[in-house]
A and B are shown apart, each in its own frame.
Chain A
Amino acid sequence: DQQVKQNSPSLSVQEGRISILNCDYTNSMFDYFLWYKKYPAEGPTFLISISSIKDKNEDGRFTVFLNKSAKHLSLHIVPSQPGDSAVYFCAAIRTGNNRKLIWGLGTSLAVNP
């Protein structure tokens, strides 16, 4: 049962344009959502997170939007750069002890020059 879903396995965007990566979840008990970026053969790099009590968090070129009623979040990258080409994982954490990250399957982003 996939509690965190990234329905687009891949996305291709032109340099300078906006990249929008989407994530849906099913468990209303999640209280934090995170985005990680991963290059091949490297560990995931933490990008940005959002608490379930907020609807937007911004950090430089990265903005995450959360729509709790739709159980949907999105990561916006503006402007997109070729170095942003990587796999982006959405992850969620549930309230309680021993907080375990629940991961989506990832979206591979290609930013074309």
Chain B
Amino acid sequence: DTEVTQTPKHLVMGMTNKKSLKCEQHMGHRAMYWYKQKAKKPPELMFVYSYEKLSINESVPSRFSPECPNSSLLNLHLHALQPEDSALYLCASSQGASSHTQYFGPGTRLTVL
């Protein structure tokens, strides 16, 4: 089973809203990732959690705030986003941060009005 689940599938929010994206995996993976993907571009890494600790922050603006409550869950808290933040947000996991294969969820399509 290589399933990563993400909720919600679609999200529309205003620039003053606060919302959260959720990701879950039950593969026993110890590394989890947030990516942002714009149309016709490859995924762009945002954050990496390894053993529930933030190990990489790719200079992401503070309006994006990740959280890893436990080894199976990863959240991305959103606040005061801009319309240019509209994108597909992808969660991925791997056995460890040194593993070469990452498994992706279906993504959350975010629209910021």
Binding site for B on A (CB under 8 A): 31-32, 34, 36, 41-46, 49, 89, 91, 93, 97-101, 103-106
Contacts and interface: CB of A to CB of B under 8 A. Distances in A.
B86 interface: no
B42 to A, nearest CB: 3
A-B pairs, top 7 by smallest CB distance, nearest first, are: A103-B42, A43-B104, A32-B100, A43-B107, A44-B104, A93-B100, A43-B106
Nearest to A44: B104
Interface stretch (B12-20, B43-51, B63-71, B75-83): B43-51
Given A41-B109, A42-B107, A104-B42, A99 B50 contact: no
Interface of B: 2, 4, 6, 40-43, 45, 48, 50, 55-56, 88, 90, 92, 97-107, 109
Given A98-B50, A101-B45, A45 B99 contact: no
B42 A89 contact: yes
Contacts of B90: 43-44
Contacts of A49: 100-101
Contacts of A32: 100
B55 A101 contact: no
B104 A98 contact: no
A46 B102 CA distance: 8
A97 B98 contact: yes
Contacts of A36: 104
A38 B43 CA distance: 11
B101 A46 contact: yes
Nearest to B58: A100
B42 A105 contact: yes
B40 A106 contact: yes
A44 to B, nearest CB: 5
